[in-house]
Structure 1
Amino acid sequence: FRMLSFTSALTSLAADPEGHLLVVGSDAGCLHLVRAPGWRHAFVADTIRLSDAGVARVAVTFHDAGVGVLVVAALLFNNKIAFLRVHIEAEDPKLDMLGFVDVGGAIEDICFHRAEFEGDDAKLLAAGAADADGTSCVWLIAAPPIEYEAAVAELSRETCPVWSMKVDGSKKPENRISAVTSFSHDPREAVVVGFAGGALKSFPAPTSFGASAAKQAPAEAIEAFPPQGQLITRVVLSEDGRFLVSASMDGSVRRIPIEEGTKVPISHKLVHNPYNGGVAQVAVDPSGLLFLSTGGSDGAVVWSDPRDAVRPPAPGPEEDAVEVPGDQEELATSVDDKDTAAFPLWAPVDLADPDARAGEENDDPQLNAIAMAQRR
């Protein structure tokens, strides 16, 4: 294997469906695109600085629009959401920045919605508190069209329509939204929301056009799942829709069956120290039986319920090796993503300016040299 290290703290990561591309966010405001056809050949293919605010969460979804495109959303600590795309079938895939969306709220979590919703473009779920009155809300945001080219930093409502839903109007601390996921196997195209008090409920997908939910009545929950001990940190639906997985600050991870009609957790495992923040993130394999979780100083833990008798799959033969850039051939590669000279802040290119477009199409040799030196 190879070791990739960064000078900033890594806050979130997400992978393409095949696991060959990783999108990694950092508190320096950078997104890194890591190519990993096999970990002996993993390398940083591209880095882009989105903001000085830092990246809080990353989400990705695959969009097959004739050519394979990975749609990326990055939640920043200033509550703006950046949309990007990656043409994964390109010989040299890059992070293509499209712009920012601001729904006017303190966003806690994001997740791509799995269901079709008024069109073919990807839709992103965002959950948090509205700036106007502090009520708990869920927003549904349309990603920019695949062919969109960034001309301005802020994405308009015409480019990225927004739908909203008020979930709770009481403003009680325990009713603050902390996590969200798509629950689209439900015929009502539902979403599942986790709360600071440990509650876990499903709601219809947002359908009220516009980002403001101030005048809306709170939505009625479709159903309530058994609550967890403390704040819900993550909630994930398995790829086959059979299990709902929730994680909490109490250090536990639960697996709730969906298909059988019962909502009683069949697994409830204490994995991470509740006195050190509990579970920070959790991911589940397509079968819903193998988990990867992080929390506190525990690092990453791969585990399963002993009753399931499953083991991580044995590594298969690596695909044809992708040529690693000359500046990353060493066993360990370090990227100084705090260096703003090597990785300047993104700004849209003036599409009407031929010189600007030419500069975008032809890499700056001096900037490339600086980036290469920093990676060394």
Structure 2
Amino acid sequence: MFFKKMLCLTALTCLTVSASVLAAAPQAPEISAQSAYVMDADTGAQLYAKNADERAYPGSTTKVMTAVVGIELGKAQGKMDQPLKITNDVYNIESDASVLGIDPGDQITLKNAMTGMMTVSGCDAAVAVAETVTPSQADFVAKMNEKAAALGCTHTHFTNPHGLPDSDHYSTARDMATIAAYGMKMPEFRDMVDHSEYDMPYINGGSKHCTSTNQFLSSGFPGANGVKTGTTRAGGPCLITSATQNGRTVIASIMNSDDRYGDAQKLMTYGFAVLNDENSQPANNTRTVEPEENVYILRQAPAGQTLTDIKEKQKQAAELAAKAQAATTAPTAEAIATAKASAAKTAAAVKTSTAKSTQPYVPFSPAA
């Protein structure tokens, strides 16, 4: 009888410890973003998801794909260090769009122009990049969509290289994170997005000073090294961030957030915490939202700002509670109370991690 009681108490002790470990696992943060996705860029593993597959306007985060395609075609054609082709098409963009400020006749290499494009979010540079590596913008956009499909981005469709308003131009938090993670594996891409300031040189002398629109790079977050901002009125402020710590890279994609840099700090901190915690489970707050009628409108904005598993935790909590109940025939009342309290604490932690954002949002819908 003594040994039976000791075995029960030992089991309860292990149960309590297990519940404490689960409760101490990193808790998914509350964010204002309508949708977000955090991933391990090295393995592709999901670390956090909130409405990750909900269609959204990516705005100027589109230029992440523009740079990826521009680099791959530019290298294949031996044009990275050749002059950028600049036509009058660079003037055919929205008047309030962010621009690099290039003109026909300017002598800039393709590589340096793309770096300037990613720094200040230059829509004019995106047009020139497209026309340098393909016969037309339409041909370049086709390459963008081919690349998205090749990367498994099934909820993405591009209609232009810069992200300015179009009802058929859309993506998701998950897809944009996937594209950014692919880009961050390219040395040329990393060099283009890993700086707060950049002096873009002209081939015939002189330079243009560029300041990054991505404030995350200068936020002090450890290992911050990319990648891109984007803002539209309908799509809201968007941001894709990257950081590398101890050889591990985390990517966070944020759509429609009133506090995108605050959300970035929370999500990136959480992402690295999950990587460093063997007992943590990825959070998945994905839900489906029916679209409403709305029109995609470019917002007047500073340069560059143009256009999981909670069920498993619940299951574990339920199992802990069941084991505590089953053990009530042998242990002391105090031990039983401790086990039940631990299970309740775990359930409360799960409830907290599933809290939904109350951020007002106008869902994606094609323009009327």
Q: Fold conserved (TM > 0.5)? A: no
TM-score normalised by structure 2 residue count:
0.24
TM-score normalised by structure 1 residue count:
0.23
Which is higher, the Rg of structure 1 or of structure 2? 2
Larger strand share, 1 or 2: 1
Whose RCO is larger (CA < 8 A, sep 6+)? 2
Larger helix share, 1 or 2: 2
